[in-house]
């Protein structure tokens, strides 16, 4: 197989149920496309037979490229591993393995890439998920947009077609706590959105727990916003102002009314206020220190256990 023009990158974790339909649709796309395409399937430490299915496919069809991680590293690092392994000379097309991101949109994305855009990101105008998740996503994207120093598109996930020069820059970014859509926006170049309706999963359940979603949201906020550390300073100033106002009220009552507020309630209020502010400040500082700590270890972001390209073991 000659060097592919486009690499399709799809991370998989326990996706045995959706795997046949994923491969059917990807193969149909490659068969009908005039482009030379490879598909990079990343097994993120699956516990079912997903890894076996990827291995069998990569050994029998040279268009498929298998990357097997040593354990479950998480969605963002699995995507990072796939993007690093992608050989597409023109661009990398990032999709989810659950087929919520339709691979058939590649021709539409590619047209926009040929018009001079380096990143074509998908914008979800409608998503088929629970009300709680849809509301949470809606609020988070707008919160991040309002506090971020990088213009991160609203309602846009990792689903995107990324030019080779943007991919090369992303591969040089060593962040341990990764938020790929933010990194993609930070790089710059010409970027444009493409609206689509996000499908429901074709099979199985979402592998992103609420805890993991919160972790991803934290990475977005702490990696691409100065708001948390500035918020801490503002809280400190607010606490001082409240204390000064309270002190002035006490002095006025003492001088003019000979009646000072009794101590227990006032003392309890002050203790709770300052304790809360201090704990909040320590928590925010801890988030930054934790990220510095993990980054300073300089460990590899992920470990590739095995890689299969064109029927050869690498």
- DSSP character for 48? S
For residue 8, the cross-strand partners are 39, 93
Does residue 201 register a pLDDT over 60? Answer: no
HSE on the CB side for 286, CA within 13 Å?
6
| pLDDT digit string, tens, across residues 40-70 | 999 988 888 888 999 989 888 889 999 999 8
| pLDDT digit string, tens, across residues 158-194 | 889 999 999 999 898 888 778 888 888 888 888 888 8
pTM, 2 dp: 0.73
What would the two tokens of residue 111 be?
Answer: 């047209």
Short-list 139, 183, 191, CA closest to 158:
183
Residue 169 is predicted with a pLDDT of 92
Residue 219 is predicted with a pLDDT of 67
Unique residue bearing structure tokens 């509301």: 135
pLDDT band at 106 (very low <50, low <70, confident <90, very high): very high
Residue 313 is predicted with a pLDDT of 45
- Burial label for 184, CB within 10 Å (0-12, 13-18, 19+), is buried
Does residue 83 register a pLDDT over 70? Answer: yes
């Amino acid at each position: 197989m000659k060097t592919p023009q486009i690499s399709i990158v799809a991370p998989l974790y326990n996706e045995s149920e959706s795997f046949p339909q994923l491969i059917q649709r990807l193969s149909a796309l490659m068969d009908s496309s005039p482009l030379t395409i490879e598909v990079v399937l990343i097994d993120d430490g699956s516990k079912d037979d997903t890894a076996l299915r990827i291995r069998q496919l990569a050994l029998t069809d040279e268009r498929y490229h298998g990357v097997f991680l040593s354990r479950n590293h998480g969605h963002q690092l699995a995507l990072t591993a796939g993007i690093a392994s992608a050989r597409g000379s023109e661009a990398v097309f990032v999709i989810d393995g659950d087929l919520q991101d339709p691979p058939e949109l590649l021709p539409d994305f590619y047209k926009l890439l040929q018009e001079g855009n380096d990143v074509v990101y998908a914008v979800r105008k409608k998503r088929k998920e629970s009300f709680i998740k849809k509301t949470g996503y809606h609020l988070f994207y707008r919160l991040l947009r309002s506090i971020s120093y990088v213009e991160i598109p609203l309602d846009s996930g990792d689903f995107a077609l990324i030019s080779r020069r943007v991919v090369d820059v992303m591969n040089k970014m060593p962040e341990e706590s990764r938020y790929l859509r933010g990194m993609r926006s930070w790089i710059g170049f010409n970027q444009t959105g493409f609206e689509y309706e996000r499908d429901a999963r074709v099979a199985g359940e979402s592998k992103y727990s609420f805890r993991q979603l919160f972790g991803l949201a934290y990475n977005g906020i702490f990696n691409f916003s100065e708001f948390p550390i500035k918020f801490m300073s503002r809280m400190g100033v607010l606490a001082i102002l409240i204390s000064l106002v309270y002190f002035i009220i006490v002095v006025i009552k003492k001088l003019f009314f000979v009646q000072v507020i009794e101590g227990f309630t006032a003392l309890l209020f002050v203790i709770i206020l300052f304790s809360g502010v201090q704990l909040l400040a320590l928590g925010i500082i801890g988030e930054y220190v934790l990220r510095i700590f993990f980054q300073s270890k300089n460990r590899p972001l992920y470990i590739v256990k095995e890689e299969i390209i064109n029927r050869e073991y690498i």
